[in-house]
A and B are shown apart, each in its own frame.
Chain A
């Protein structure tokens, strides 16, 4: 019997396809953002708000991931932006191989910012790259302030943490300061946004951050208005 050293990441096959997706997106100067959250945190609402806030500044497109149904894509389509729905058929996350055909269905050359709404889940999406350059987790006030303790993995790998439904703060027990301090401790590079998709609080600041990321990553200062 002989021991063979391997040391190979179990996500390697996914990572290779994700890299191809990213190269495709880079070629069309499209910045992709992977939006992750538990079900009901407000992913689709944030996609809608972001499209609205960036209208006339960036050309936005969307991929909507869900286990089943076309509901989210139909909702986003009312804004007039190109959108593709991916149904995972019960699968708990999007992976790079599911995103690849969706990219080919979208007019990428006419999209600056591609918002990819992952399946509602705080566990599985965190470990699987899709081709995005920016990872975001959305948490919401009703979910409670203990989410980073229960799902630390996702909070450590993201570029931004968005806390949604701040309009509910007066009615619920949520220690925003401790929540924020824990995330800063776990992930010092993550930007923190407090928003309410209902009232619009914080949306402008969030949208500006995305616009700045686009300019820095692929915009080359080009104005697409």
Chain B
């Protein structure tokens, strides 16, 4: 059994793009776990999408061996965490499995809002935060300033932080040495009953669910009977082991302080929820580790196959995605406009985007998504309370006493020249101002309470465009707040298109309705008759546009005997028609459903 004093468990936290995955790659490379030839860029991010977007979606871990300058061999367990707020819960579980965190700060960009949020989360988990200043080889790099910022804004020592270039492999050795000196070794009791934290899990078609865990006390062996303390399910471990780079390496036993995995013919991810505690079924520990909570989706939308016949394929894709993503929720939904599809729940907008992209890419399905919605609380006059995430389920206004919507606490860090623009934006989005402080002379941290439904459309885009890309943003759910909300319906040729309905703040309804109609007018091609496009609240029409009837589509030209050319023209026409959705007698292109998702910044 490995001596705990030779183990270091840590993660790397960073703002997106500050070089977290690149540093992980260098650490793995320097420690010789893999030869240079085996190295692929970003070995930890093995999903195709992760690599392409340069972000980490699922937490992963790797065990590496480092022969330090003191001549001893150390075991490093590096746990990779997602950087985005949507996956905060996963981040926090990953942090709970570590004793320390390497904080990567871009020498040119300095500290950003997301960095702060992640650092505070690490400090909350009593982690030793070890700063590293990256990208020192950039022409715009200012490592002294970055170090000052870390000390001033975060309040941790940074003048001796390694100054590195992960990309070019500069000063990586110093990082490795500091991991040993700065990050504490695990302090668990090797002889106590097994107590291990699940920080991630993964579905393997052959082995079933594989749970990733960190052993706090005791040890785990192959063939041991274990119990999941939150769910109560018990299993006999079929395999235990640790993480090579990109692969699992089985072993007989893992001791206290170690990070590893187990497989036990577990059928569903629901039985091994992230945050749960694994213990010995026969000699259980007294109490589970703190912090298990069920994560609920924050954002919902409808997903429909573009080709109605592909419904079974879509269900299949969602089921497979869910095997590896317990936070993805879905249930069947039927839309008059879009046919059979699914109502899906996500942790946030990025999560939504990733899932939809994976469906399109990994399963080659063309899909239509409806406007994202948050979960509203509808208090009815009869005292009943409904949680509504689908506008279609909204009760008649006469039955509604009042409604509540989710509010988030948002932190935005921005350079001083854009403070005005960003505060205007928050104001427009019904934000409630909380505070603003200058963390340094040229940068401010602005705090607002914002309704979640105001940030799920295109808040990120607006934020970026109004700050020329400089603002960074982070949020967490704060609670619910009473609000005047209405359901806005869109009628095309006097027929309601359910897939275009949404719930909106009453004060923004008129503006939104008008923009929707305008946008749809541009997206719906002229047809054989005039098409009114209307926005309505209940029976009240609040906006209208008209798509005029097509006047002319005729081939008044002499192609002589070249009939193939005529036919090709007609085939193209027919093909274009096939891509449309038939609503009553009107054909609506897929693009029309998507275009209304981006209404605001124009």
- A and B pair up: no
Partner-B contacts on A (CB < 8 A): none
